[in-house]
Amino acid sequence: MVAHTLNMMKENAPSNDLTIVVNTCDAYHDVLGIFFHALQDCWPDCPYPVVINTESLTCTHPARVHHHSSRIGADDWGARLRATLSTIDSEFVMMLYDDFILEAPVSYERVQQALGLLQAQPSAAVTYLIDTAVPLSRTDTDDIFVAIKDRVDYRLNSAPAIWRKQALMNYTEAGDNPWAWEVFGSYRTWGDGQVFYSLNPKQSNIYPYNHKKGGAIYRGKWVREVVEEVEKKYLLNIDWTLRGFSSDTVFEKRSLMWKLNFLQTGFRMVGLKAFHFLAGYIRVKFHVR
């Protein structure tokens, strides 16, 4: 009876309420095949349309592709995401990245619970589909989703999530990049009255993937423990040596120039609020209390 009811819900699902957005770029084009193999394997009855947010390369995957080339030459991730979202009619979007490779089945019912929370609360901006490890407003609850505290780091982050599309656009500006968006973009959310929900740590992840190093690619290289499982499961014609593998023993530092550009981007994004990050960085770097 339960299975029959669920099947009826799927057949009658208002798929126009939610669109899946897969964020990629030309440099990560080789991971899309893995993503869609896993999506079909772990979520074969997904009722929602899929849009690929990319730069210029064509894609043959079962999705609508939105190309956006920056006027400045280099990729403008923030402008590209906003341009992609502006082409989507649904009120809500599931934000995913190309290297979020599914490893277990996705429950339609649990996705609908996350979507339903947003639909029921106009002040809710997002429901993250995994335990984000961001500080929560309470820990003594069995609720499926728990509100994230205001004024905490990574309140805005790239974890798999269902977003109110307009809220996501409001928190994203031209010139943003994914790394600065999480760090400095979080300050845009502080005190604005919007509610951010994370999956309760007591719950299993709704979007199950290996996120120990973010996904299947870490700083431009394959994450071995992710793609080795992929290679076993799917027949893919990929030369893994072209990208190489991220090391588990060598800490891959960011260059000084990258850090300076990152900080400059932060001040451009949020002005003096960027000092919150700088102060925290100094405390960690020099063990200042």
pLDDT, tens digit, 9 for 90 and up, residues 199-248:
999 999 999 999 998 999 999 999 999 998 888 899 888 889 999 999 87
The confidence band for 18, taking pLDDT boundaries of 50, 70 and 90, is: very high
Choice between 152 and 4, residue whose per-residue pLDDT is larger: 152
Please write the tens of the pLDDT for every residue from 165-198: 999 999 999 999 999 999 999 999 999 999 999 9
User: Tokens 């964020």 belong to which residue?
Assistant: 23
For 11, 84, 95, 117, 118, the CA distances from 127, given in Å and listed in that order, are: 24, 20, 11, 8, 7
8 A C-beta contact, residue 100 and residue 159: no
The confidence band for 282, taking pLDDT boundaries of 50, 70 and 90, is: confident
Query: Strands 161-164 and 221-222: what pairing?
Result: unpaired
Nearest-angstrom CA–CA distance, 69 and 249: 37
Task: Look at phi and psi of residue 287 and say left if phi exceeds 0, alpha if psi is from -120 to 50, else beta.
Answer: left
Nearest-angstrom CA–CA distance, 159 and 97: 9
Task: For 54-82, give one letter per residue: b (16+ CB within 10 A) or e.
Answer: bbeeebebebebbebebeeeebbbbbbbb
Nearest-angstrom CA–CA distance, 144 and 277: 31
Please write the tens of the pLDDT for every residue from 70-125: 766 678 999 999 999 999 999 999 999 999 999 999 999 999 999 999 999 999 99
pTM: 0.90
8 A C-beta contact, residue 179 and residue 261: no
CA angle 246, 96, 193 (to 5 degrees): 120
Q: What pLDDT sits at residue 251? A: 61
Taking 3-state DSSP, the helix, strand and coil percentages for the chain, each rounded to the nearest 5, stand at 40, 15, 45
Nearest-angstrom CA–CA distance, 283 and 289: 6
Q: List the beta strands (DSSP E) in the chain.
A: 18-23, 50-54, 64-67, 92-97, 124-128, 145-147, 161-164, 195-199, 217-218, 221-222
Other beta carbons within 10 Å of 175: 15
Number of helical (H) and strand (E) elements in the chain, helices listed first: 10, 10
Nearest-angstrom CA–CA distance, 150 and 75: 31
* Closest listed residue to residue 22, CA positions, set 243, 207, 248: 207
For helices 2-11 and 108-120, angle between their N-to-C axes, nearest 10 degrees: 60
As given in the structure block, the two tokens for residue 192 are 């604005």
